[in-house]
Structure 1
């Protein structure tokens, strides 16, 4: 999987990579880094015009409904321009497209899997390598100017990290809400993400079912006290609650913006400012309702020898994910922050559309004169 890890970093740098299987070599270019020069080079290298691969969420915005997760939009000469491609991939209200879409190949689907793993917009140009261009492409691969990975490895780029989390470093870090706290840092094998387990209290005195909070990183809320969410308050309340319960663990997971990354979260915020709710904004960018994966949390708990937990959460998906990973959830405890004028729409969408258990809190806010 080392080639896939290198490919992820190349894609984040804006470089194309080759996806290959038994049928065809495909040149993949992230849409994020596209300019006219890169587009011309892509076509010249592949020897064929590219298509635009998009997720079903983004295609729905273009008036194209599909059953599968991805599809490919053939590009007419008029559409082979950076401005038009960026509109198709990024705009809140892009012009619809009249031409038919075609089914995505395995390589097309794998390309968007790599984009998600690289925390890039799930949109990519894919160009089949023409027969006349194969010798040139092989030379570029041989010279190290172009990286190739197999489609099967790219398809497994999320699952390949399971069980390979590395415990890197640790130290005592007394917190305002829990004086006896130890930070343990874990790193994923591709080096892209690091997660922290905050061990609170004396482990010898813990309950059999360890109090646990799985908290996804939120730079804007956790660090800067953003009013758009309640994440910062939830974080500090969780530390205090775990300390009051005799100690336990808070897993601070590098899954900003429900797993889409900070850059895309800020793009989604901009879309919310023109009227979309938090879930629709993510889907307009091409993402699903929640892109987080909790296998890393299961691996961290295994490293800490924890098999039974009391979970502090309002999210039923977290309960299901731990249970599927072999962790027994004996009890759920609700965890709230303050509801405000600025975060009401965000929390309301989570409750009404994503199933978070917040109805009582929202109803109370409405009775007190909120929206």
Structure 2
């Protein structure tokens, strides 16, 4: 019998293709349909019995009271939402305009619905889904599709725990020597998660025999726009290159390049968030409009990679205290922290300020230095 995690991994790929999945919980079967890629005809088919499942972050944007969005997931019965076409459904799920009346209809999500939301996040889709409770003939039809292999059935609890299913299961795939401009003695080691969707790279700089006893380490989340294209909306590319140079100057160490684009929401959602920021929102509020928290990253893969590299004690290059907390929770000893900055500019100032003020990043030095320079020029 396939392991439970394998079913979750298959479900992630089905959902990314727009194929529904059935979540089973005791005597309840829940059909989940991703919102991304949903066709109008499919909405019409599902609408009479469907509910829209959204995150507590999204419900807060819709105008729900604080008490209503304590749970991680909530459901909005579509039958109670009034006239509903695909455009309005998308506005409910990730539009920037709140609908307070609809928010009052929210109900607590059950296990199947919580599992639906977890799978959407894991699949890097908008964290919203249509769900239908299957019974009678509808359940028989669904079971026939499951039996034929057209649809997949997954245990609801396995779906809820999908972010934990990859822990300890990274596969070391390949490695090669890659000389870098600032670190000519470097080796790239690629690790793959069991769902096959995410691949992470350990950049091993210098020779292990020359490393300090507390290994210099940078956890760097992938940023296509900043790292590769030099986007001015963030400081990621400069941080990446500065980290390589700093690790080299410290005698060598490791940079873990993690597939966690957009603080874990994926490139598609990051671009959606950028569009919302152009409308006036900061980076935290933009992510919340889409249904995400201010940081969706997990660092279990980083802990597993350090274990594979037999690294236990580190000095960490970061401005983010949460990275230190995450590694220490995974059993890594963080001996000290070193700041790591990029350049402040007119395009990334609001982004960096929001990270400092709302997410606790330690950026006072770079932000204050900019203020001091501006004052001195007056």
Q: Within 5 Å, give how 1:304-343 maps onto structure 2.
A: 304-343=309-348
- Residue-by-residue CA offset, 1:269-298 (whole Å, 9 max, x unaligned): 000001100011001100001000001000
Query: Pairwise mapping of residues 198-277 of structure 1 onto structure 2 (< 5 A)?
Result: 198-277=203-282
Match for residue 73 of structure 1 among 65, 73, 76: 76
Query: How far apart in 2 are the matches of 1:136 and 1:342?
Result: 53
Shift of 1:51: 0.4
1:160 alignment partner, SS class: coil
Moved more, 258-267 or 204-213: 204-213
Write the distance in 1 (CA, Å) between the matches of 2:140 and 2:76: 27
Contact 2:58 2:94 in 1 (8 A): no
- Residue 195, structure 1, aligned to residue 194, structure 2: no
Secondary structure of residue in 1 paired with 2:184: coil
Partners of 2:109 and 2:158 in 1: CA distance: 17
8 Å CA contact 2:218, 2:243 repeated in 1: yes
Which of 20, 38, 41 is the equivalent residue of 1:16?
20
Alignment of 1:113-124 (within 5 A): 113-124=118-129
Structure 2 distance, partners of 1:13, 1:122, is: 15
In the aligned structure 1, how far is the partner of 2:212 from the partner of 2:372? 38
Look up the SS of the partner of 2:168 in the other structure.
Answer: coil
Paired residues, number: 366
Per-residue deviation at 1:42?
3.6
TM-score scaled by length of structure 2: 0.94
TM-superposed CA distance for 1:79, in Å, is 4.1
Shift of 1:8: 0.4
1:343, distance to aligned residue in structure 2 (A): 0.4
Shift of 1:54: 0.6
* 1:42-63 superposed Cα distances (whole Å, 9 cap, x missing partner): 45xxxx6100011111111111
Runs of 4+ in 1 over 4 A off after TM superposition: none
Q: Is the 8 A contact 2:314 2:336 kept in 1?
A: yes
1:143 to 121, 141, 148: 148
Question: 1:155-174 maps to which residues of 2 (within 5 A)?
Answer: 155-174=160-179
2:52 corresponds to: 52
> Could you list the runs of 5+ residues in structure 1 that have no partner in the other structure?
none
Q: In structure 2, how many angstroms separate the alpha carbons of the residues matched to 1:271 and 1:155?
A: 29
Q: Who is 2:191 aligned against?
A: 186
- SS where residue 101 of structure 2 aligns? coil
Equivalent position of 1:129 in the other structure? 134
* Rounded Cα–Cα distance in structure 2 between residues aligned with 1:368 and 1:207: 36
Alignment partners' CA distance in 2, 1:79 and 1:359: 49
